[in-house]
Copies of this chain bind each other. A is one copy, B any other.
Amino acid sequence: MEEKAFQDYYPDEMSYCYGCGRSNDDGLHIKSYWEGEESVARFTPRHYHTALPGFVYGGLVASLIDCHGVGTAAAATYRAEGRSMDTEPRLRFVTASLKVDYVRPTPIGVQLEARGKVKEVGKRKVVVSIEVTAKGTVCARGEVIAVRVPESMKQKGNR
């Protein structure tokens, strides 16, 4: 049986994210997993996700960091609560703040690896730092501050 990604445990009504939602037919379907203490998402940008020809669009790298960070925030909170991701209540975070440093141009045409480290797990806030590598070389470093999805977003989502 294939391992389920963090994002596969999001509640159905919160599974439409363009970056990582399983229910968004037009989306990127970024998927994150644990590898020991770190989280990993591997994603191969499409041919049109270019910045200058030959390199990956910075907004796509930011999106990878964003969704991987938010997914890692949920997974880390389940861990901190000592329960598995298929238990209730299901957790969903959103991004409060995103920072990306583009260390060097990211080559297109290869699989990127986003590797997350959990820096802080608070009651409401989780901080994840992420490195994006291409063929083992760091291309970007990011940090995501994720917070529990606010009630105002849930209500709209349920309409």
Chain A residues with a Cβ under 8 A of chain B: 13-14, 16-19, 21, 24-27, 46, 48-55, 57-60, 62-63, 66-67, 92, 94-102, 105, 149-150, 152-154, 156-157, 159
Contact A59 B18 (CB under 8 A): yes
Across-interface contacts of A63 in B (CB, < 8 A): 57, 59-60, 62-63
Q: Across the interface, name the chain B residue whose C-beta is closest to A55.
A: B153
Question: How far is A14 from B57 in the complex, measured between Cα atoms in Å?
Answer: 12
Known: A18-B49, A52-B149, A97-B101. 9 other contacts (CB 8 A): A18-B48, A18-B60, A19-B57, A52-B156, A58-B98, A62-B62, A96-B102, A98-B99, A98-B102
Residue in B92, B94, B100, B157 whose beta carbon sits within 8 Å of that of A53 in the complex: B157
Contact A16 B102 (CB under 8 A): no
